[in-house]
Amino acid sequence: MNHRITIGDLWHVRWPIVGMVHLLPLPGATGWRGSMADIIRRACEDARMLADGGIDGVLIENYGDVPFHPGAVPPETVAAMTAATVEVARIVAVPVGVNVLRNDAAAAVAIAVAAGADFVRVNVHTGAMLTDQGWIEGKAHDTLRLRTRLDSPVAVLADVLVKHATAPPGVDAAAAARDTWHRGLADGLIVTGGATGATPDPERLLTVRHAVPDAPLWIGSGLDAANAPDLLPLADAAIVGSALQHEGVAGSGVDSVRVQRLVRIVHALRDTAGRERS
């Protein structure tokens, strides 16, 4: 891989929406309930509900594995996520992604390649962030070289000043975005609010857009049916978790009514944008 993978390589719509598949606690996690069958069943149900409801992609994440490992996850986590990703990729016809919390980008790329997934999310790709797991350092050099060795077109979407974290003194969103794009060679940049489900500051979205105008810009948290008309036009795509789940609570499972509500709004925005261009 020696070129960037664009949104257009994976999606052929304006403002693609990727829905979260939050896995139940995996083997070895504190909340593990003893059944991989239940984990895969729930993952497939959520993914199918998202895809059938009109969501443009799904992102599989070990959300139930709190407290998270700060770096490499154990082999049982990789094995379980691979098993779940294989099944999800088999049943949906939309692009599938992988995020291994808190920041195991190597595992995410390996799982994506093995399972036939299309992209990964990396919370800290370049630089370092102070998180509830301690300091987490980006390993863009390892991640991109692994992708090259595996010779697979897996897109790397990287957070800029990721949620649930604090940047070192002197680091701002513009500088972090430029480093992630120009030096980390990410395929897309993600901007979030401060926590799960929190809406990003529109000013931060604009800051990142102005700092790296060529970079695909993703909203990574907080988008919902109410704010989509104002927020989505500031970016190129969005990842949505909490707003598509029961009562808006992350990890509670996908709610088809919420999916339909957001999809209607997004389709209306696309229609309006299409008429304005014509």
Q: Can you tell me whether residue 85 is helix, strand or coil? A: helix
At 92 the pLDDT is: 98
Cα–Cα distance measured from residue 123 to residue 159, given in angstroms and rounded to the nearest whole number: 5
Q: Is residue 142 part of a domain?
A: yes
Q: Is residue 4 part of a domain?
A: no
Residue 165, pLDDT > 70, answer yes
pTM of structure: 0.96
Share of the chain above pLDDT 70, in %: 99
**Number of structural domains the chain divides into:** 1
Q: Is residue 3 part of a domain?
A: no
Cα–Cα distance measured from residue 177 to residue 190, given in angstroms and rounded to the nearest whole number: 9
Q: What is the pLDDT of residues 40-51, one digit of tens each?
A: 999 999 999 999
55: Cβ contacts below 8 Å, ≥ 6 apart: 17, 18, 19, 94, 240, 244, 259, 263
Q: Is residue 258 part of a domain?
A: yes
Neighbours of 81 (CB within 10 A): 30
Q: How confident is the model at residue 275 (pLDDT cuts 50, 70, 90)?
A: confident
Q: Is residue 7 part of a domain?
A: no
Range of the domain at 198: 14-277
Mean predicted confidence (pLDDT) in 10-33:
98
Q: What is the pLDDT of residues 79-100, one digit of tens each?
A: 999 999 999 999 999 999 999 9
Cα–Cα distance measured from residue 117 to residue 76, given in angstroms and rounded to the nearest whole number: 19
Residue 2, pLDDT > 60, answer no
| Mean predicted lDDT score pLDDT of the chain | 96
Q: Is residue 226 part of a domain?
A: yes
At 278 the pLDDT is: 66
Q: What is the pLDDT of residues 117-147, one digit of tens each?
A: 999 999 999 999 999 999 999 999 999 999 9
Q: What is the pLDDT of residues 197-227, one digit of tens each?
A: 999 999 999 999 999 999 999 999 999 999 9
Cα–Cα distance measured from residue 273 to residue 139, given in angstroms and rounded to the nearest whole number: 38
- Residue 64, domain CATH: 3.20.20.390
Cα–Cα distance measured from residue 75 to residue 160, given in angstroms and rounded to the nearest whole number: 28
Cα–Cα distance measured from residue 228 to residue 111, given in angstroms and rounded to the nearest whole number: 31
Q: Is residue 6 part of a domain?
A: no
At 3 the pLDDT is: 78
Share of the chain above pLDDT 90, in %: 97
Phi-psi region of 222 (alpha: psi -120 to 50; beta: other; left: phi over 0): left
Q: How confident is the model at residue 190 (pLDDT cuts 50, 70, 90)?
A: very high
